[in-house]
Chain A
C-alpha cells in the first residue's frame, strides 16, 4: 500500500512538474518572469538574457520566445503588451506610440502576436525604427500609429492587422553603458496611448 501511495504521488508530482516547467518556459501560456527583471514604465526586460548566468526559468523562456537573443553588451530587448492605462494591446484598438532619443546606436520597435511571431498580414509595416524616426524629421521626438488599417498619410504606421492580442518588442542595439547601469533613470520609455477601439475609429 505504501508503494502504491509513493508511486501515485511520484507520478502526479512529475506530471505537475512537467506542466509547470512547460508553463514557466512559455510553451503553455505566456511564461514566467523570475529574477533579473528590468521594468521601465511597463516595458520589461531581463539583463541576463542570452548569458550563462540567466536562471533556468529565464533560459527556458528565452529559448522558446527569443531564441538567438544577444547579451546586453550587444543588444537589449524590452517587451510590452499593455497600453498606458494598463489594458492589453489588441488588434481591435488604435494606439499612438511616442518616444524620444534612445540610449543606443540603433533601435527598433516590432509587433508580434501572442505566439511571438510576426502577424500574418501583407502590410509591410511591422516595425518602426531609428531610420524611420530620422526620416520623419527628429529622432529625439517621434511617434507612430499602431492600428489594423493605415493611418493618415505622412505619419508612421505599424500594422496590427491579424495581430490579435499582440505585444511590442523594443530592441536597443549597442546600448549606452550608463543606460545598462541604470535603465530606469536613462531610458525615456515610449508611451502607448489608446486612441479608441472598434470600427468607428
Chain B
C-alpha cells in the first residue's frame, strides 16, 4: 500500500515542479533566442536596424503586422544606461521597450498629431539601481536584467511610407548614455 503512495506523491511533485519551472523559463528562453536570431542576422548591439517590409518571405517573428514598418535596437545595459531618441511620425507610431522576460515595460507614442507630441521622444533604459540623470521630458525605464529590446512601430502600409520610415532610422539614436 505504501509503494503506490510514494510513487504517486513523487509523480505529483515532478509534474507540478516541471510544469512551472518550464513555464516560467519559456519567456526568457524565447526572448534570448529572438535576440540571438537578430544579432546572428547581422543586427548590431545598440544600433537601430530597420526590418525589411513585412511579407511572408521576410517575417522573422510571429504575428508581424504587414501594415507597420518596424525598427529594432538590441540593448544591453550591463555596462550602463542606454539612451534612445526617436523622431515622431505623422500617423500612428510608437516606441516600445521589452525586457528579458518579454514584458512590455514601456510604450510611448510617436504620433506627431497628438497635442503634446515632442519632435522626438527620448528614453533612458537602465538596470534597477543604476544611477540615471534625466533631463526634463526624458522618460526613464528600469529593467531587472540587462538584456532588453526596443521596437519602433510606424504605420506604413505603402512602399513610399515604408521608405519614409526607413529614412528616419539614421537620425534615431540607441546607445550608451
**A positions within 8 Å CB-CB of B:** 1-2, 5-18, 20-22, 24-25, 27, 50-52, 56-57, 59-60, 62-71, 73-75, 105-106, 108, 110, 112, 115-122, 124, 126-127, 129, 131, 169, 171, 173-174
- Which of chain B's residues has its CB closest to A32's CB? B23
* 8 Å CB interface, B41-56 against A: 54-56
Q: Which chain A positions have C-beta within 8 A of B64?
A: 118
Q: List 30 A-B contacts (CB under 8 A).
A: A5-B7, A6-B9, A9-B14, A13-B10, A13-B14, A14-B15, A15-B18, A16-B18, A17-B16, A17-B17, A17-B18, A27-B26, A50-B104, A59-B103, A60-B27, A63-B30, A67-B61, A68-B61, A68-B96, A74-B96, A74-B109, A108-B67, A110-B66, A117-B59, A118-B54, A118-B64, A118-B66, A120-B57, A127-B67, A173-B92
Give chain A nearest CB distance to B51 CB in angstroms: 11
Q: Which chain A positions have C-beta within 8 A of B3?
A: 1-2, 5
Q: Which chain A positions have C-beta within 8 A of B18?
A: 13-18, 21
Q: Which chain A positions have C-beta within 8 A of B6?
A: 2, 5-6, 9
A2 to B96, CA, bound (A): 54
Interface of A is mostly: mixed
Known A-B contacts A68-B61, A117-B62; the reply to A17 vs B19 at CB < 8 A is yes
* 8 Å CB interface, B110-155 against A: 111, 149, 151, 155
Cβ 8 A contact of B62, one of A1, A22, A64, A75: A64
Check: B24 CB closer than 8 A to any chain A CB: yes
- Which of chain B's residues has its CB closest to A116's CB? B62
A56 to B27, CA, bound (A): 9
Is there contact, CB below 8 Å, between B27 and A59?
yes
Q: Give chain B's interface residue range (CB within 8 Å of chain A).
A: 35 or more
- Which of chain B's residues has its CB closest to A77's CB? B63
Is there contact, CB below 8 Å, between A70 and B107?
yes
Known A-B contacts A13-B13, A60-B27, A70-B107; the reply to A18 vs B22 at CB < 8 A is yes
Known A-B contacts A65-B62, A66-B63, A106-B92; the reply to A10 vs B14 at CB < 8 A is yes
A120 to B57, CA, bound (A): 7
Known A-B contacts A66-B63, A68-B98, A127-B66; the reply to A121 vs B27 at CB < 8 A is no
Check: B31 CB closer than 8 A to any chain A CB: yes
A63 to B32, CA, bound (A): 11
Q: Which chain A positions have C-beta within 8 A of B65?
A: 108, 110, 127, 171
Q: Which chain A positions have C-beta within 8 A of B103?
A: 50-52, 59
Q: Which chain A positions have C-beta within 8 A of B20?
A: 17, 21, 56
Q: Which chain A positions have C-beta within 8 A of B15?
A: 13-14, 16-17, 20
Q: Which chain B positions have C-beta within 8 A of A68?
A: 61, 96, 98, 102, 104, 149, 151
Is there contact, CB below 8 Å, between A7 and B19?
no
Known A-B contacts A1-B3, A2-B2, A25-B26; the reply to A14 vs B17 at CB < 8 A is yes
